[in-house]
Chains A and B, each alone.
Chain A
Amino acid sequence: MIDIQLLGLLNATLQAATLLFVAALGELITEKSGILNLGVEGMISIGAVAGFMTAVNTNNIFLAVIVGVLSSSVFASIHAVVTVVLKQDQTVSGLILTILGLALSSLIGKNYVGKKLDTKLDSFFSIDDPSNILQVLLSQNIIFYVAILLMILVSYTLKNTMFGRRLEAVGEDSKAADSMGLNVTKTQFIATCLGGAFAGLSGVYLTLSYVPYWTDNMTAGRGWIALALVIFGGWKPYRTALGALLFGFLEALVPRLQTYGFELNPYIVKIAPYIITILILVLLTIYKGGKTGAPKNIGIPFFRENR
């Protein structure tokens, strides 16, 4: 027997971590190709609202996930067109993607605020004994297992497949990659849209299971924490997952501290994750002494000189 409260904490940690991790993994793929996309928050929001609207209207959860993932991916292609094809500033484009995504999702989701879902994105098994650790681990949401699969898949792809090597080559030195005959534009475009798809998956998890309802600005900065996670993970999938667990643990722990006998102001508790994120980023940068492991070409538009 393990303490039920402790398992509740584990459960909440895994849920919060899944949400952050899926979005961070997508951003990792995008950044590996040398494209920085600061629009994660906006992309999650678009996926969240599109998935939710589909679920309310069709009651088809599978379709809702597909629609959410695809809409975020299409939305990310705006960033791809502006930065990859038209070679404009990635920071500006990404920021505006966030602003546009939040405004657009609020606009189209206006009539869905407060609506209830008939079917939720569920787990394979349901818990009947919350004190059994095996049951807690097996009864996680489907997206949790999808996230684990994606982690293994992305890590394998980056290391062992042509696409992964191509991504790395483009992100490290796009000029050399180009002279080797790789299609830089195509690779970066695909990586950006893939990042959007992952953010969309995170978004549908948010509205179809984690919360589950739709309201304005419900992403609450998670997209930005996902961006911090990529730095934390040193652009490596497994380390990013570790970071997601840590951040998920903090998000789950802080509201529970009171049950462990700590007197905390609820308003201060809400801002603690953001303070801790900054603190971790600072400590991490000091620890690594500036060598973060970032792709060398990140943020620099690829431009083939006249030959």
Chain B
Amino acid sequence: MNKYTLSKRQAVNELSTFYSFLAGFLIALVIGSIILLIQEKNPIDTFSLMFKLSIGSVNSLSSSLNKATPLILAGLGIAIINTVKLWNIGAEGQIFMGAIGVNLFYINSNLSNPTILIFLLLLSAFIGGAFCILIPALAKVLFGVNEIITTLLTNYIVIGLTIYLVNGPWKDPNSLNFPAAAYVGKEVYLPTMFGKLSYGFLICIIFTALAHYLKNKSVFGYEMRIAGGSEMTAIYAGINAKQKAFFAMLIGGGFAGLAGGVELLSQTHRVSTGISQGFGYTAIIVAAITGMRPIGIFLVGTLFGALSIGGSVIQTIGVSTYIADIIQASTLFGALVIQFFFNYKLLRVDDD
């Protein structure tokens, strides 16, 4: 009788993450088709409609890129934190905190120069996101508290805080049906480049480059990688691992906060519970599927942004918008399965 055993491959193809992603996406489309068939919808019609409405025209393409912007920025934040082998599940809350930061600065400032004001508002978004992860970061580096659970719980706290603010102190009396804060002035709206495409996407490109540099090219990135590796190596190299972990978490939180700031200044123009529609969670998929690579996050984030736009417009033909979420999550599961075959091979062993 023959038995099989697993063996780790010595050399893993460098593009394996990319191939796994492609295969995972195909698997996800098959799963999505099955769900659509169960719901008695034609998958080909549905997917081609999603395709047409998400990237078929300049307007829909720019909507997709606008949608991708917060996904990418939050995903980059998760990837930076993962350099020290820590997880940020709190991007959703950080996005909200970024938007809260913008509004807090806006209603308390009397700057007249809009350019400087926009710059400072984006800075407060970054600080808001960093502030949001401060407690989990301190708890992690000082006492070793599991950051996965604490960052996740901050989501519920910040969303609760947002609901409090828009129903209480920041409530706009003119917004009757949907509790929200007052709109920010038109002078601080992020302008559009062409079509509906906001300058937020340009910020997103700049920060992708910045994250790539920070993670892969800078001294700090190198130190972060060592800090996330073995404890002994960090000590020998004279690197304060806890300090690196702390700053990585604050910077990563800041990226997600910036996502919320850009979303407010370019899309919603006010604080409400509609600032994020689960961007922080989708960003986890985007970051994980690319193996935490900034440029990969940019590309997959763009695709997933288009998927989300496609998912939200097909509601009109009676297809649940959750189909986009399911395709995104299934893509990662599919990719994980395929990745296994890149990392391991089956060997046949003969019984003694």
Contact = CB atoms under 8 A, between A and B. Distances in A.
In this complex, the interface size class of chain B, counting residues with CB under 8 Å from chain A, is 35 or more
Interface stretch (B226-234, B248-256, B324-332): B324-332
A100 B157 CA distance: 23
Contacts of A255: none
Contact of A103 (B135, B156, B157, B329): B329
B12 interface: no
A221 B154 CA distance: 11
Contacts of B8: 303
A86 B340 CA distance: 6
Nearest to B339: A88
B37 interface: no
A303 B6 contact: yes
Nearest to A273: B156
A66 B347 CA distance: 40
Contacts of B167: 267
Contacts of B6: 87, 303-304
Interface string A84-119: 001111011101100110111011001000000000
A224 B153 contact: yes
Contact of A281 (B145, B157, B284, B333): B145
Interface string B139-183: 100011110111011101100110110011000000000000000
B143 A286 contact: yes
A91 B148 contact: yes
Contacts of A277: 149, 153
Nearest to A82: B336
A122 B163 CA distance: 34
Contacts of B148: 38, 91
A93 B336 contact: yes
Contacts of B154: 274, 278
B337 A86 contact: yes
Nearest to A284: B145
Contact of B326 (A82, A103, A274): A103
A224 B149 contact: yes
B337 A82 contact: yes
Given A96-B332, A281-B150, A104 B322 contact: yes
Interface residues of A, number: 44
Contacts of B281: 99
A79 to B, nearest CB: 9
A96 B288 CA distance: 10
A82 B337 CA distance: 6
A203 to B, nearest CB: 18
Contacts of B343: 87
B157 A99 contact: no
A99 B325 contact: yes
Given A88-B340, A93-B336, A99 B149 contact: no
A278 B148 CA distance: 11
A265 B157 CA distance: 14
A77 B102 CA distance: 43
Nearest to B151: A278
A78 interface: yes
B320 A110 contact: yes
A103 B139 contact: no
Given A92-B288, A100-B329, A270 B337 contact: no
A285 interface: yes
**Max chain A Cβ within 10 angstroms of own Cβ: one of B149, B154, B337, B347:** B149
Interface string A261-279: 0000101101100110110
A99 B329 contact: yes
A275 B157 CA distance: 7
A25 interface: no
A181 interface: no
Contacts of B326: 100, 103-104, 107
A96 B285 contact: yes
B145 A282 contact: yes
Contacts of A227: 149
B284 A95 contact: yes
B207 interface: no
Contacts of A271: 156-157, 160-161, 164
Given A224-B149, A285-B145, A304-B5, A91 B87 contact: yes
Contacts of B156: 220-221, 271, 274
Contact of A282 (B5, B143, B339): B143
A268 B150 CA distance: 18
Contacts of A74: none
Given A99-B281, A281-B149, 4 more contacts: A86-B336, A99-B325, A106-B322, A281-B150
14 contacts: A87-B344, A89-B288, A89-B336, A91-B87, A91-B148, A96-B329, A100-B329, A102-B325, A103-B325, A224-B153, A228-B153, A231-B149, A268-B164, A270-B160
Q: Which 5 A-B pairs have the closest CB atoms?
A: A271-B160, A267-B164, A103-B325, A100-B329, A86-B340
